[in-house]
């Protein structure tokens, strides 16, 4: 099953010609999960993926650069005759936020459900779960970890035949975890199935200081998407404002032993290439996606996460990218 992350907005609180405000879209098979919905998100969607039907939307916190695009997106869905229900998740305070947005949105022709989450809460899905974790910002805020279930190991038909299992329905029973009759008695699934294969994992912090909760949430993750608002020279400013430097994000990724780190929320005051170079000294497999770039995440036995450049580029120099 395909798993990818499309970066719709990678900039800080002030959008630029190249970088919009915070939003990423995770696609897993046919499911589409959005994390944050900053100003202009629906236009970013149209410029890249089209106006896709998001199944669930998760807000990390309620600063405007992370949620101001929500009323417009909901109204556009309504004007396009959306019928499918939409669930929105976020920290405590989400109900009040949606109440404040209600006069702006008006009536909707589809069912909208808002659910408040606490750190440690889990949103279950078939074959995976979304777990909320505590981050450290200036306001109540959550990060989210998408954690796939481990998958059964590979079935060995030759070993099953050797144990006297007839090819056919019995093969499927073994793969479904059932014992079947062999030539010398019962054959257990563990006799013909390889070791469980790891699922994939993505951790998304939103705005945060580096913290141990993120390290644990991102442990062995395929991709960590982390706040990198400041360069190291402005570390004190990062501490004052509840953000991280790119180097701090890299140190979190290294401690968590993540496979790839994506820096987002980089302030427009910086040359992104220099911020990336600085972070890579602490964690080499660091990327700084542009808006519309995608990270594709294969199953672990099939390779490593890969950044697919599709990003917005300035038509005329100079570029700070």
What is the Cα–Cα distance from 152 to 155, expressed in whole angstroms?
Answer: 9
CB of 179 closer than 8 Å to CB of 191: no
CB 35 within 8 A of CB 61: no
Rounded to 5 degrees, what are φ and ψ at 74?
Answer: -65, -40
Q: What is the DSSP string of 238-276?
A: HHHHT--BHHHHHHHHHHHT-S-EEEESB-TTS-HHHHH
Q: Which of 198, 162, 160, 197 is nearest to 179 (CA)?
A: 160
First to last CA, the chain: 33
Question: Is 65 one of the catalytic residues?
Answer: yes
**Catalytic annotation, pick one of 65, 207, 222, 293:** 65
Catalytic center residues: 65
């Amino acid at each position: 099953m395909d798993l990818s992350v499309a970066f719709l907005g990678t900039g800080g609180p002030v959008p630029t010609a190249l970088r919009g405000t915070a939003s990423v879209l995770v696609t897993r098979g046919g499911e589409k999960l959005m994390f944050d919905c900053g100003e202009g998100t629906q236009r970013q969607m149209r410029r890249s993926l089209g106006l896709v039907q998001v199944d669930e939307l998760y807000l990390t916190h309620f600063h405007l650069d992370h949620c101001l695009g929500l009323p417009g997106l909901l109204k556009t869905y309504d004007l396009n005759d959306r019928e499918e229900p939409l669930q929105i998740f976020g920290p405590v305070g989400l109900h009040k936020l949606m109440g404040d947005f209600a006069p702006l949105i008006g009536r909707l022709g589809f069912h909208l459900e808002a659910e408040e989450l606490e750190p440690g809460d889990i949103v279950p899905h078939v074959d995976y779960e979304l777990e909320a974790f505590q981050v450290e910002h200036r306001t109540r805020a959550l990060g989210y970890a998408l954690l796939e279930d481990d998958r059964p190991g590979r079935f060995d038909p030759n070993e099953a035949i050797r144990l006297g299992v007839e090819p056919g329905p019995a093969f499927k029973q073994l793969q479904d975890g059932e014992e079947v009759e062999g030539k010398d008695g019962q054959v257990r699934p563990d006799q013909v199935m390889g070791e469980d294969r790891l699922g994939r994992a993505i951790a998304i912090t939103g705005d945060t200081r580096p913290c141990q909760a993120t390290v644990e949430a991102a442990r062995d993750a395929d991709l960590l998407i982390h706040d990198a608002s400041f360069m190291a020279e402005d570390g004190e400013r990062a501490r004052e404002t509840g953000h991280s430097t790119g180097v701090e994000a890299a140190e979190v990724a290294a401690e968590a032993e993540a496979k790839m780190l994506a820096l987002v929320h980089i302030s427009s005051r910086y040359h992104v290439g220099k911020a990336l170079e600085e972070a890579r000294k602490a964690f080499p497999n660091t990327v700084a996606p542009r808006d519309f770039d995608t990270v594709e995440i294969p199953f672990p036995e099939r390779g490593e996460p890969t950044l697919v450049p599709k990003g917005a580029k300035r038509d005329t120099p100079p570029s700070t990218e």
